[in-house]
Amino acid sequence: MAYIQGDTTGLKAEVLDKGVGNATLVTTPAIEDTGFVALACESDPGTVIGTATRYQPEASIDYRLRVGQDSVLDQEVFCYANQNTGKHGYITTNLTMSLASAGLLTNASSITTINSGVMLRTQRQFAIGGQQTPLYVETNFSLSATSMATNSTLDFGLFLPGTALVSPLDGVYFRLNSSGLFGVVNNNNTETVGTALTFTFVANRIYQFVITVTGREAQFWIDDVLYARVPCPVTQQSLVQAGSLPWAVHHRIGGTAAGSVVQGKVWAYSVYVGDINQPKMWGHTCTAMGGGMQVQQGAAVGGQLATYALGAAPGASTLTASTAPAINTPGGKWNATIPAAATESDFPMYSWLNQAGTVAIPGKMFVCTGIRIGETTVTTALGGPMCLEWGVGFGSTAATLATTESASFAATTKIARKMHLGSQGSVTAAAAGTTLPGFQVDFSHAPLTVNPGEYLHVIMRSVLATVTGACRGGVAVLGYFE
């Protein structure tokens, strides 16, 4: 064993035969004139910015290491062909976007026209928190060339939009123009733009761009490498002025023609909040991400799912056992003549198909958390007593309730799994205008699940003779897409 000796102290330190110092760590940091090991975590080695980024973990007063977890706020994969109008807003002047080849394409019309712009943004906005709760904004993005065309600008990240032709009003975002790629912080139209990032695109290659933002600092990452850090300017109260911002992508051409046709493509984005465990039920999170009771992303026509025409009565339906009226929505308004004799036939008042998943339509499970059978109103007088029994069926592979379950290892068909919900009725003849009370069944603790390609049925039986009569009512299906 070798030794090394201090020049002034004369003290010796042992060195192992392989040249490694033989040291015993001091375990009591309070002892003076001693050293101890401090723990630090390196998030980036400083390959681009020149200095490593390291952070010390934090311990509580009770000596426990503090930990946090990320919570998803929003995510979208642009694998479909039509704008998800329930979730995304769109403005345009000359320039257009399209959903093609599994991505959101900017400048889909391939123009270089002056004073043109196009933008897509989330309707939802995301709160900018303090230093302890960062937002993580990821955008998977590619460019059709190695650099942006002259007189063209493309921004993506978190920002408040102006118009199709005006740059963002507030936010934190990547900016791409003919001078290069930049990380931008914008506080109420005052932009802090650093030098161009030392980054060059490979045409059509998909990169992961991540912005980490708090009230005091923004970080700009590309493929897990930190490219820039922008602290809050000392003259500003916070990094951005807006308390919340949407995710957006904005392509625009200025007062002179673009030098060439260049297209950006967004493949996916996600927004997470870090280091906070949000006390939200998963269904609330799915609904906030656009998975509520609206047409699924990828559908040719967006909007509501339920049958509820503006200013118009529901169309009259003729009841047919197992197959009709089969209104092809999950709930809404109905209008039907009640059978003149008692019947044990199952009438599918609603027969809704949850879209099967394809490469162009994300297959999502529908989670039914409840069904409300609304009050039923007599529209044509009932000639005698009436009883309507209501039920629900889920999981069938066809619209008709006559579908049977396939044998083992055969071409799979599934019967509707049926469940009784409740009844409505009148013990005597009832005049027009009589209202029968409604009711609601809660499935939130054990939801009904409808997989992509399967049906949800709301079923009615008329089990007492009525002689004559007609009614109208409504059904509300509660739930979300996951």
CATH 2.60.120.200, domain 71-279, yes or no: yes
Using CA atoms, how far apart are residues 363 and 365, in angstroms rounded to an integer? Answer: 7
The closest of 84, 75, 98 to 300, measured between CA atoms, is 84
Question: What's the pLDDT score for residue 122?
Answer: 94
What confidence category does residue 1 fall into, taking pLDDT thresholds of 50, 70 and 90?
Answer: very low
What's the Cα-to-Cα distance from 36 to each of 12, 39, 148, 433, rounded to whole Å? 19, 10, 51, 84
Predicted confidence band of residue 183 (pLDDT cuts 50, 70, 90): very high
Residue 482, helix vs strand vs coil? coil
Distance of CA 51 to the CA centre of its chain: 35
**Lowest pLDDT segment from 140-154, 312-326, 450-464:** 312-326
Judge whether 267 and 80 are in contact, CB under 8 Å: no
Sequence-ordered list of residues with C-beta below 8 angstroms from that of 343, at least 6 positions apart, any chain: 321, 461, 462, 463
Q: Which pLDDT does position 16 carry in this prediction? A: 67
Is the pLDDT assigned to residue 479 strictly greater than 70? yes
Mean local confidence (pLDDT), 453-482? 93
Q: What is the mean pLDDT of residues 357-382?
A: 91
Tell me the two tokens of residue 79. 């694998």
Range with lowest mean pLDDT among 69-73, 133-137, 248-252, 275-279? 275-279
Q: Give the per-residue pLDDT at 112.
A: 97
Architecture field, domain 331-481:
Sandwich (2.60)
List CB contacts of 8: < 8 A, sequence separation 6 or more.
Answer: none
What is the spatial distance between Cα 22 and Cα 16, in angstroms, rounded to a whole number? Answer: 6
- The DSSP code sequence of 109-153 is T----SSEEEEEEESS-EE---TTS-EEEEEEEEESSSSPPTTEE
Segment 423-434, tens digit of pLDDT = 999 999 999 999
Share of the chain above pLDDT 90, in %: 63
Distance CA 345, CA 340 (A): 13
Q: 446-466 in b/e burial notation, b at 16+ Cβ within 10 A? A: ebbbbbbebbbbbbbbbebbb
Q: Which residues are within 8 A (CB) of 481 and not within 5 positions of it... i.e. 6 or more apart?
A: 286, 291, 292, 296, 364, 365, 366, 367
The pLDDT value recorded for residue 462 is 94
Q: What is the mean pLDDT of the segment spanning 299-323?
A: 86
The structural domains of the chain, with segments of one domain joined by +, span 71-279, 331-481
Higher pLDDT, residue 2 or 235: 235
Grouping H, G, I as helix, E, B as strand and the rest as coil, residue 353 is strand
Strand spans (E) along 123-263:
126-127, 135-143, 152-160, 170-177, 180-187, 190-193, 207-213, 217-222, 225-231, 244-245, 247-253
Residue 171 and residue 192: Cα distance in Å, rounded? 11
Cβ burial 359-373 (10 Å sphere, 16+ → b, else e): eebbebbbbbbebbb
* Local structure of 285: helix, strand or coil: helix
Assign 20 a pLDDT band (cuts: 50, 70, 90). Answer: low
Q: Is the pLDDT of residue 170 over 90?
A: yes
Inform me whether the pLDDT recorded for 8 exceeds 80: no
Helix (H) / strand (E) element for 286: namely helix 282-286
Output the pLDDT for position 50. 82
Query: Helix, strand or coil for residue 467?
Result: coil
Question: Greater confidence, 165 or 409?
Answer: 165
Q: What does the alpha-carbon distance between residue 273 and residue 72 come to, in Å, rounded to a whole number?
A: 7
Average pLDDT for 211-239: 92
User: Which residue bears the tokens 């509300």?
Assistant: 476
Quick one: average pLDDT of 118-133?
88
pLDDT at 97: 97
End-to-end C-alpha distance for the chain, whole angstroms: 65
Task: Kindly tell me if the per-residue pLDDT of 22 is higher than 80.
Answer: no
Alpha carbon distance 436, 466 (integer Å): 15
Judge whether 289 and 297 are in contact, CB under 8 Å: no
pLDDT tens string 318-367: 899 999 888 899 999 999 999 888 999 999 999 999 988 877 778 889 99
**What was the pLDDT predicted at 21?**
65
Is the model's pLDDT at 452 over the cut of 70?
yes
Would the CATH topology of 71-279 be identical to that of 331-481?
A: yes
pLDDT exceeds cutoff 80 at 2: no
* Average pLDDT value for residue range 259-273: 96
Provide the CA 377 distance to its chain's centre, in angstroms: 39
Which residue in 347, 342, 381 sits closest to 465, CA to CA? 342
Higher pLDDT, 480 or 292: 480
pLDDT tens per residue, range 198-215: 999 999 999 999 999 988
Q: How far apart are CA 435 and CA 439, in angstroms?
A: 13
Count Cβ atoms below 10 Å from residue 32 Cβ, excluding itself: 4
The pLDDT tens digits for 31-48 are: 555 555 666 778 788 888
Q: Which residue has the tokens 């984005």?
A: 269
pLDDT at 136 over 50: yes
